[in-house]
Structure 1
Amino acid sequence: MVAFPEARRPGGHVALVVAVAVCYFAAGRLGLLCKLTVDGAVVTPIWPPTGVAVAALLILGVRYWPGVTIGAYLIVLSLDTPVLYSLGYMVGNTLAPLVAVALLRRAGFRTDLRRLRDGLALVFFGAMGAMLISSTLGVVLLVATDRMPSHTFWTVWLAWWVGDAMGVLLVTPLLLLFSHAQGLRPTPRRWEAAALAVAAVCVVPPAVYSHLSLLFLVYPLIIWGALRFELVGSMLCALATSVLAAVAATDGAGAFGGLSRVEVMAKLQGFNGTMALTALLLSAVITEQRHTRRSVEKACEELVEVLEHLTAGEAPPPRPAPEDADPLLRPDRRDPL
């Protein structure tokens, strides 16, 4: 994990809180560039601040939640919103990431996303479960402040919920990945990475802006990225495609042309959701299998070395316990009894 020595210095906690707030606000302004009006309410197909908030609280700790609240306040301050709605929005968008982190930690979530169970936990607890709080509270306040009619509650609620969940599914994994040192190392497959980037540039825009509905052409790129570059390859492809699809949907172009706003939102969020789930879960399965294979190969090598020492009549050298082993099972652990 990336260390943050600033947190131990005087004023370091405040500096990191401000950094979280700035990142949250910047992500919110980017998300508002692609907004749609559904039944009189403005919603965003992807709301990146939710992903930033969940990742920040997982990486830094829940004690930095004021940064999320300040960032949410800055967003509502830049918009023309009533006081009641602004307060409720701040509460909902702070409480949802906190609940997401609590649920993930309860499930034994690991931020390196090397296990399928981590991917499933992020999907069901971090995205689909916790984001029910922010979407429900936000839409209830819209109705309470007469900013939308009550009969459109479920349509707007579904669009809001999926937008918040998409922010967690697309943004959080990448931020968690780059918080680890291995996420920042250059890949040895530079030429293949360049080929994947070129293929994405050549395939994604025509697939999104074509009137023939060619969005399915993106999935081979997602699979390629997951097989060869694991999480970073698949999620970068998914994020870039989702952003471009959101821009096309906002303009009513390509595969989203000739549709009503509700139909555009349903098609866009269905496409983004299935693509994000495919990228996240497929890469998690591949990463887990490779990690298991490496562990088995290392165990076999150590077993061969022990057998060689025993054959030569020497005592085998002590083996350090693996980093992720149970501390109670380490050889240097002494029974207090």
Structure 2
Amino acid sequence: MIRTEEARRRAAYVAQILGVAGAYYLSAHLGLMRQVVVDGAVVTPLWPSTGIALAALLCLGVRVWPGIALGALLAVLETGGAFTVSSLAIMFGNTVAPLASYALLRRVGFRSELVRLRDGVCLVFLGAFAGMLISAAIGSFTLLLDGKVPPGRFWLVWSSWWAGDAMGVLVVTPVLLVLRGVRWPRPSDRWLEASVLAVVVAVSSLLATRSSLSMIYLVFPVIIWAALRFELPGSAPCALVVSVLAVMAGTDGVGPFAGHSLMEIMANLSLLNGSVALTALLLGAVVAEHKNIRRETEYAVEELEALVERLAPLSGPAATRYDDRERRHGPLDGGPHPDRR
């Protein structure tokens, strides 16, 4: 029986490792479909694998790190095509970065439910901006030493690498954390409004990213609508849709990205995706925190009302009759009368 239980645990652990590796590799393959080559260095405006890696660590624990390493190695081999020291170094950086983000988030008491503003802020600045500095630095320096990136283009590669990894955390990780606790909607839920929101998000995102009229900020009222009405479960998927469509338009060089250089396109994509993700994440967390505070306040008021109702008979007519009987017959509990010495 013990051996059978251990075998099941090992099988479950192996399945988790392979599942994380497969998800990392598939998401990397999707990200590479919109890759940008800078003097031999392959970068992406949005690298969803970092978001999957951090979400896997937050949901399954640090023990699934071999799956991240295996998925990162497969992704690096697909871009480089050879098993070299450089590929191992890049794999190491892509594995250590989400581990560092996970350690930073755990140190500050991060909650994966994202129902507090501080959780959203920590995910942005510690999980995305700080942790992904490691993968960008290791990857860029590796390509520089390997001769694939000239010194004059190093900062372009580094900033593009860092922005792509950070955007993966900001856009993908909240969606996965929300899906973890999602429930099937009830018939009484706002189905009609949710359907209208989905259509509006798709239409406004296409207009903002494909139109030549530079209507890129058309998406922000929609993101605010989603956050105010549906909190993070509504705003996080909307941010993902906007970011994906923006990346597709930017790499195609259409709409507001037409006629710009590669550096300008990467900068605009990073600013847009970052602003959309920050708005969706932080505003959704603020709304959720305020609702939790109101719910806790209502619960405290109900408890106070129940306590007052239990104590009310002691201050009404029953309490007066109790005092009269005590003066005539002495304390009802058998103790000494206060007037007797």
1:60 aligns with 2:91: no
- Consecutive unaligned residues in structure 1, runs of 5 or more: 314-337
Give the structure 2 partner of residue 268 of structure 1: 269
Give the structure 2 partner of residue 320 of structure 1: none
Give the structure 2 partner of residue 34 of structure 1: 34
Q: Check whether the contact 1:39–1:156 (CA below 8 A) recurs between aligned residues.
A: no
Classify the secondary structure of the residue corresponding to 2:42.
Answer: strand
1:312 CA displacement: 3.7
Q: Check whether the contact 2:202–2:241 (CA below 8 A) recurs between aligned residues.
A: no
Structure 1 residues 6 and 160: alpha-carbon distance in aligned structure 2, compared to 1, 3 A threshold:
farther
| CA distance in 2 between partners of 1:263 and 1:7 (Å) | 54
| CA distance in 2 between partners of 1:127 and 1:203 (Å) | 27
Q: With the length of structure 2 as denominator, give the TM-score of the two structures.
A: 0.87
Classify the secondary structure of the residue corresponding to 1:78.
Answer: helix
Structure 1 residues 24 and 218: alpha-carbon distance in aligned structure 2, compared to 1, 3 A threshold:
same
Give the structure 2 partner of residue 198 of structure 1: 199
Number of aligned positions between the proteins: 308
Q: With the length of structure 1 as denominator, give the TM-score of the two structures.
A: 0.88
Q: CA RMSD in A?
A: 1.8
1:143 CA displacement: 0.5
| CA distance in 2 between partners of 1:184 and 1:8 (Å) | 28
Give the structure 2 partner of residue 92 of structure 1: 93
Structure 1 residues 7 and 47: alpha-carbon distance in aligned structure 2, compared to 1, 3 A threshold:
farther
Give the structure 2 partner of residue 156 of structure 1: 157
Give the structure 2 partner of residue 80 of structure 1: 80
CA deviations 1:217-269 (Å, max 9, x no partner) are: 00000000000000011111111011011001111011110111111111111
Q: Check whether the contact 1:7–1:13 (CA below 8 A) recurs between aligned residues.
A: no
Classify the secondary structure of the residue corresponding to 1:42.
Answer: strand
Q: How does 1:6-25 map to 2 (within 5 A)?
A: 9-25=9-25
Q: Where is the helix percentage greater, Structure 1 or Structure 2?
A: 2
Classify the secondary structure of the residue corresponding to 2:79.
Answer: coil
Give the structure 1 partner of residue 219 of structure 2: 218
Classify the secondary structure of the residue corresponding to 1:37.
Answer: strand
Q: Check whether the contact 2:42–2:79 (CA below 8 A) recurs between aligned residues.
A: no
CA deviations 1:142-161 (Å, max 9, x no partner) are: 00111110111111101110
Give the structure 2 partner of residue 184 of structure 1: 183
| CA distance in 2 between partners of 1:6 and 1:168 (Å) | 34
Q: Check whether the contact 1:104–1:126 (CA below 8 A) recurs between aligned residues.
A: yes
Q: Check whether the contact 2:39–2:148 (CA below 8 A) recurs between aligned residues.
A: no
Classify the secondary structure of the residue corresponding to 2:80.
Answer: coil
1:287 aligns with 2:249: no
CA deviations 1:63-111 (Å, max 9, x no partner) are: 1100000001111222335512110111101101111110000000000
Give the structure 2 partner of residue 328 of structure 1: none
| CA distance in 1 between partners of 2:7 and 2:69 (Å) | 19
1:9 CA displacement: 3.0
| CA distance in 2 between partners of 1:33 and 1:139 (Å) | 20
Give the structure 1 partner of residue 167 of structure 2: 166
| CA distance in 1 between partners of 2:40 and 2:95 (Å) | 25
| CA distance in 2 between partners of 1:259 and 1:46 (Å) | 19
CA deviations 1:122-148 (Å, max 9, x no partner) are: 011100001000000000000011111
| CA distance in 1 between partners of 2:60 and 2:313 (Å) | 50
Corresponding letter in the other structure for 2:54: V
Structure 1 residues 6 and 35: alpha-carbon distance in aligned structure 2, compared to 1, 3 A threshold:
farther
| CA distance in 2 between partners of 1:10 and 1:84 (Å) | 31
1:164 CA displacement: 0.2
Corresponding letter in the other structure for 2:122: A
Q: Check whether the contact 1:65–1:94 (CA below 8 A) recurs between aligned residues.
A: yes
Corresponding letter in the other structure for 1:18: L
Q: Check whether the contact 2:80–2:87 (CA below 8 A) recurs between aligned residues.
A: no
